[in-house]
């Protein structure tokens, strides 16, 4: 099948297979967004006199049909068609004849894929924010539920000071709130319109870029057309850094969960249906979900570096290297969101050992509590420290296991309400509604 750019010479089959790579596979994920971008573009073309109103109506009608195919997972990129842009244009031309050939005026596949990826990333960021918020809610709920249950805190993996399940669950909730800040920054960089930059140097057609910006619900446009093209790879790297931050939080939580469920710790428990067994050891109940989550999230943390290495030595302008980014970027959202969903489900059902500190191995957790008690009674801190240290060396230390921490963010004053306010303030700054309404308006 002839390519959009092909003239009189056929490309070697091996060359074609190598250059197309996995583009057909990845571009299926972009099909809905390619259609939306085309709808905005041709609406603008009609407004500047490059399409007639009846041509616009027939094109919009057929593009809506293609959108429905994509939305129902029925969109196919045919053998011999190299990408989603070509497939959409071929489908329009088959149905509408020469009118279908007019949609590419003032546009390049370069700015098409830019806008496709931005619209795709925009939609996926919203899903990720929802998944992060769901896990946040579970963790805050568990923090409040178990706020009075103590557990050991560790430094250097040595028993250190008293902590609590309230602190443990709440710490990961607040970490996710910070991760949402990075997602918000990624959203703001993503939500700028590159359409109209064409191959990276603009167009001699009188394009109205503000119109396509408004039609697609972007917050603004990438103003400089060369920078719009330079944004390919940068947007993906920025978003990947935000995803990696979420993944880092979840990976650490998964590591704690694996450790805390082991018999040597026994701090938390998982119901049988949330564990897997061994083919040889009948007693085994393995936390495989947390182990796989840890591995997947560690892999996602490498994503910014992969994108950086693909783009790092490229000058301005378009290069085919950028195509490879799709292969690592597009699947990352679904993988992370799946981990977030699994972690929320597991954490909502986890059981908590409420008598951990009855074990004498944790007696020394309370040494600092005793030092502080002596200091509050008037003993200089360094003298109090030495007195308690001598008692420990002599084997005479008797812990007082009553803990009274009152400052903000401590065992007795978790500040969970403030953490929720912080998180909700971040989420409120995403302009999801504006983007969604613009897309729905195009599809009316």
The answer to whether position 294 is within a domain reads yes
Is there a single domain that holds both residue 171 and residue 316?
yes
The helix (run of H) or strand (run of E) holding residue 436 is helix 432-443
Q: What is the pTM of this model?
A: 0.93
Is there a single domain that holds both residue 38 and residue 64?
yes
pLDDT computed for residue 3 by the predictor:
54
Burial class (CB in 10 A: 0-12, 13-18, 19+), 77: buried
Is there a single domain that holds both residue 126 and residue 27?
no
Average pLDDT for 160-175: 97
Is there a single domain that holds both residue 87 and residue 168?
no
The model's pLDDT over 251-266, given as tens digits with 9 standing for 90+, comes to: 999 999 999 999 999 9
pLDDT computed for residue 1 by the predictor:
55
pLDDT computed for residue 286 by the predictor:
84
pLDDT tops 70 at residue 278? no
First to last CA, the chain: 33
Q: 53: pLDDT confidence band, cut at 50, 70 and 90?
A: very high
The answer to whether position 31 is within a domain reads yes
pLDDT tops 60 at residue 272? yes
Is there a single domain that holds both residue 318 and residue 192?
yes
Is there a single domain that holds both residue 239 and residue 320?
yes
d(CA 140, CA 423): 11
Q: The domain spanning residue 73 has which CATH number?
A: 1.10.275.10
The answer to whether position 142 is within a domain reads no
Is there a single domain that holds both residue 275 and residue 322?
yes
| Greater model confidence, 307 or 80 | 307
Q: 400: pLDDT confidence band, cut at 50, 70 and 90?
A: very high
Distance of CA 423 to the CA centre of its chain: 16
d(CA 365, CA 411): 14
pLDDT tops 90 at residue 196? yes
Q: 275: pLDDT confidence band, cut at 50, 70 and 90?
A: confident
The domain containing residue 371 runs over which residues?
Answer: 360-394
Is there a single domain that holds both residue 281 and residue 238?
yes
Is there a single domain that holds both residue 286 and residue 339?
yes
Q: The domain spanning residue 306 has which CATH number?
A: 1.20.200.10
Q: Where are the alpha helices (DSSP H) in 48-164?
A: 53-71, 84-96, 109-145
The model's pLDDT over 97-115, given as tens digits with 9 standing for 90+, comes to: 999 999 999 999 999 999 9
The answer to whether position 265 is within a domain reads yes
pLDDT computed for residue 24 by the predictor:
74
pLDDT tops 70 at residue 4? no
Is there a single domain that holds both residue 180 and residue 323?
yes
Contact criterion met (CB below 8 Å) for 127 and 149: no
Q: 15: pLDDT confidence band, cut at 50, 70 and 90?
A: confident
Give every CB contact of residue 263 below 8 A, 6+ residues apart in sequence: none
Q: How far is CA 161 from CA 178, 189, 299, 393, 414, in A?
A: 25, 42, 33, 18, 16
Q: 2: pLDDT confidence band, cut at 50, 70 and 90?
A: low
Question: SS3 for 353?
Answer: coil
pLDDT tops 50 at residue 297? yes
- Mean pLDDT of all residues belonging to the chain: 93
Query: Two tokens at 163?
Result: 């902590």
Query: Two tokens at 428?
Result: 């409120």
Average pLDDT for 274-299: 85
- Residue whose structure tokens are 């074609």: 16
Angle between helix 109-145 and 332-349 (nearest 10): 10
The beta-carbon contacts of 409-418 under 8 Å, at least 24 apart in sequence, are: 410/167, 411/150, 411/162, 411/163, 411/164, 411/166, 411/167, 414/143, 414/144, 414/147, 414/166, 414/167, 414/170, 416/140, 416/143, 416/144, 416/166, 416/170, 416/173
The answer to whether position 408 is within a domain reads no
Is there a single domain that holds both residue 171 and residue 297?
yes
Q: 6: pLDDT confidence band, cut at 50, 70 and 90?
A: low
The answer to whether position 159 is within a domain reads no
pLDDT computed for residue 5 by the predictor:
44
Give every CB contact of residue 261 below 8 A, 6+ residues apart in sequence: 267, 268, 269, 270, 287, 290
d(CA 394, CA 94): 90
- Residue whose structure tokens are 């259609």: 35
Q: 411: pLDDT confidence band, cut at 50, 70 and 90?
A: very high
Question: SS3 for 48?
Answer: coil
Average pLDDT for 198-213: 96
% the chain with pLDDT above 70: 95
The answer to whether position 301 is within a domain reads yes
Half-sphere exposure of 214 (CA within 13 A, CB side): 6
Is there a single domain that holds both residue 194 and residue 76?
no
d(CA 70, CA 29): 8
Total domains in the chain come to 3
d(CA 386, CA 4): 81
The answer to whether position 440 is within a domain reads no
């Amino acid at each position: 099948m002839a390519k959009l750019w092909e003239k009189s010479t056929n490309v070697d089959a091996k060359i074609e297979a190598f250059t197309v790579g996995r583009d057909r596979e990845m571009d299926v994920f972009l099909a809905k967004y390619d259609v939306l971008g085309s709808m905005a573009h041709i609406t603008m073309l009609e407004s500047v006199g490059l399409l007639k109103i009846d041509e616009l109506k027939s094109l919009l009608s057929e593009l809506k049909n293609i959108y429905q195919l994509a939305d129902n997972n029925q969109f196919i990129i045919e053998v011999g068609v190299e990408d989603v842009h070509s497939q959409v244009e071929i489908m329009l031309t088959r149905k509408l004849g020469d009118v279908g050939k007019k949609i590419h005026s003032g546009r390049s596949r370069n700015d098409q894929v830019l806008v496709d990826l931005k619209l795709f990333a925009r939609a996926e960021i919203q899903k990720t924010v929802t998944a992060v918020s769901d896990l946040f809610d579970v963790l805050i709920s568990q923090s409040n539920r178990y706020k009075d249950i103590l557990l050991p805190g560790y430094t250097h993996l040595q028993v250190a000071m008293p902590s609590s399940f309230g602190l443990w669950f709440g710490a990961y909730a607040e970490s996710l709130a910070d991760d949402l800040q990075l997602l918000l920054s990624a959203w703001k960089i993503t939500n700028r319109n590159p359409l109209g930059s064409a191959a990276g140097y603009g167009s001699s057609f009188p394009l109205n870029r503000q119109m396509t910006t408004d039609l697609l619900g972007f917050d603004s446009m990438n103003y400089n057309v060369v920078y719009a093209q330079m944004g390919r790879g940068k947007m993906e790297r920025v978003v990947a850094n935000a995803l990696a931050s979420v993944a880092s939080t979840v990976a650490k939580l998964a590591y704690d969960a694996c450790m805390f469920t082991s018999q040597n710790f026994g701090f938390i428990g998982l119901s049988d249906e949330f564990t897997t067994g061994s083919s040889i050891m009948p007693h085994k109940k393995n936390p495989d979900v947390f182990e796989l989550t840890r591995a997947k999230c560690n892999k996602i943390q490498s994503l910014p570096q992969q994108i950086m290495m693909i783009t790092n030595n490229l000058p301005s302008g378009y290069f085919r290297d950028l195509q490879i980014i799709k292969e690592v970027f597009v699947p990352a959202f679904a993988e992370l969101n799946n981990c977030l969903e699994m972690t929320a489900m597991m954490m909502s059902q986890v059981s908590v050992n409420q008598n951990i500190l009855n074990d004498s191995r944790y007696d020394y957790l309370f040494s600092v509590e005793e030092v502080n008690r002596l200091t509050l009674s008037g003993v200089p801190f360094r003298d109090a420290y030495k007195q308690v240290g001598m008692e420990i060396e002599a084997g005479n230390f008797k812990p007082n296991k009553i803990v009274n921490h009152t400052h903000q963010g401590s065992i007795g004053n978790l500040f969970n309400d403030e953490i929720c306010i912080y998180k909700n303030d971040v989420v409120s700054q995403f302009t999801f509604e504006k983007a969604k309404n613009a897309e729905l308006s195009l599809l009316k």
